[in-house]
Amino acid sequence: MTRLLIVGPQGSGKGTQGVRVAEAFGIPAISTGDMFRAAVSGGSDLGNQVKAIIEAGDLVPDSLTSAVVRDRLAQDDAAEGFLLDGYPRNLGQVGDLDAFLQGRDEQLDAVIELSVPRDESISRLSLRAQEQGRTDDTEEVIANRLGIYERETAPILDVYRERGIVDAIDGVGTLDEIEQRIIAALEARGLVRTADV
């Protein structure tokens, strides 16, 4: 069982690294962003609610996010572990996740903190917006999202640091270099990967 959380500002590469690390450990990468984008493209009522929130550069409410994540973690492929990306993103959601995991007699094994300078995040996100034509990645929206991360998400790391499960990883370098740093930190905790990277 390997239960991981990857945390970092938008543009830190956590989505890309999350998928790579999850594959190495044979667990699903569970990204709230991907789940929300799927809901938006599906055009459901939930998707339309989420779309309006995201386009404003705001975050989806905790109750909605926690419900979506709980439902996903209850699926069979997450029974042997998971890597969470984008959740929990504030102290309220930490409480929701703790309660859910305690109900299953589980806890997180490690929290990967990807550290990237703010100007690096902004330049990566601006480039991504141009390449992917993402309307939700204007410079104003990016700055707003980074501000929300700094105010709301960064404090969750203090909770996990108190538990001794945070591995701070330098998020600047090639994809392979960053991935190797993460894997080495997790293996130092005794976590065993299922695939060679």
Residue type, 133: G
pLDDT category at 168 given cuts 50, 70, 90 is very high
As annotated, the active-site residues are: 14, 89, 128, 134, 145
What's the pLDDT at 196?
Answer: 61
CA atoms within 13 Å, Cβ hemisphere of 177:
5
Q: Tell which wins on pLDDT, 49 or 46.
A: 49
Task: Give the integer Cα–Cα distance in Å for 131 and 124.
Answer: 11
Q: Tell which wins on pLDDT, 133 or 152.
A: 152
What's the pLDDT at 49?
Answer: 83
Q: Domain coordinates of the chain in residue numbers?
A: 2-188
Q: pLDDT per residue over 119-131, tens digit each? A: 888 888 888 888 8
Average pLDDT over residues 7-30: 94
Domain 2-188 classification at class level: alpha beta
Lowest mean per-residue pLDDT among 22-31, 115-124, 132-141, 142-151: 132-141
